[in-house]
Amino acid sequence: MVQAAVSQELAFLGSERQQISARAHQSEHVISHSQYRELLMRYICDSMGKSPADIAISRFKISGNRRIAATDANFQIFQNSKGAPLGYVRVTVLVSVDGMADMEVILSAWVDVFGSVVCAARRLGKGETVGPGDVYLARKNMARMPANIITDKSRVIGMSVKNSLNANTALREYMLFRKPTLKRGDMVTILAQLGGLRVTTPGKTLERGFEGDLIRVQNTMSKKRIYARIVDDTTVKVDF
């Protein structure tokens, strides 16, 4: 009789332990694959100022994920390498529950980011100056583009081509250069203006420069050398 009672008590305790274990198991959960993928997507969009339509994630992997308490979790992402998050990306996600760090999860993926790049609309010869109709924007995979690719058309207008470029070439910074507004020895008009008084005299540049630069010029009448600011390719102005 005593042995039977003990057996019943042990069976009851075992059942109670199972119930407690089941309740504990139900109070935990594993953050899903889709949740982490969405977290990485938001991080990339925020970092690059892009929309999800411009981002493609592939070869997505998760390492270190495990069960956590079934309460609201907070996430902090730290990129494991410098630069824009494109190409092969690896980030650490710090997961906190109730304000306490709970685990670190590693996310890795190949990230393709699509955006507009500036391309030559026609063949451009060496030394040609780029005009508005000479370039266009094309949607490209930025992860496959070389460094220093140009994405803003306004940056190339007025620039000159270092070497001949074929039509549809994606433009990079090293392919272009800026011609000086004035070269050494150019003949210019020196303008001096104070209030309503305006005086002009012929001059010659003693160094090259770009619009807005202050350069040395020589008054060809008096042979005096002064500094004047470049207004355009024919005029410099004396600052008072």
Asked if 123 contacts 167 with a C-beta cutoff of 8 angstroms, the reply is yes
Asked if 55 contacts 75 with a C-beta cutoff of 8 angstroms, the reply is no
- Helices H / strands E in the chain, number of each: 2, 14
Q: How far apart are CA 210 and CA 40, in angstroms?
A: 45
Q: How far apart are CA 218 and CA 186, in angstroms?
A: 11
Asked if 187 contacts 217 with a C-beta cutoff of 8 angstroms, the reply is no
Q: How far apart are CA 81 and CA 89, in angstroms?
A: 8
pLDDT at 212: 92
pLDDT at 71: 66
> In sequence order, what are the residues at sequence separation of 6 or more whose Cβ sits closer than 8 angstroms to the Cβ of residue 216?
205, 206, 207, 225, 226, 227
Q: How far apart are CA 234 and CA 240, in angstroms?
A: 20
H or E stretch covering 189 = strand 187-194
pLDDT at 195: 80
What is the overall mean pLDDT for the chain?
Answer: 86
Tokens representing residue 155 in the block: 């940056």
Query: What is the DSSP pairing of strand 235-238 with strand 187-194?
Result: parallel
Tokens representing residue 165 in the block: 């470029």
| Domains of the chain by start residue, with CATH | 28-113 (3.10.129.10), 114-177 (3.90.1210.10), 187-238 (2.30.30.760)
pLDDT at 27: 60
DSSP code, position 162: S
pLDDT at 175: 96
146-150 contacts, C-beta under 8 A, 24 or more apart: 146/172, 147/172, 148/172, 148/173, 148/174, 149/117, 150/117, 150/118
Q: How far apart are CA 176 and CA 162, in angstroms?
A: 5
- The ranges of the chain with pLDDT < 70 are 1-27, 70-71
Buried b (16+ CB within 10 A) or exposed e, 80-100: eeeeebbeebebebebeeeee
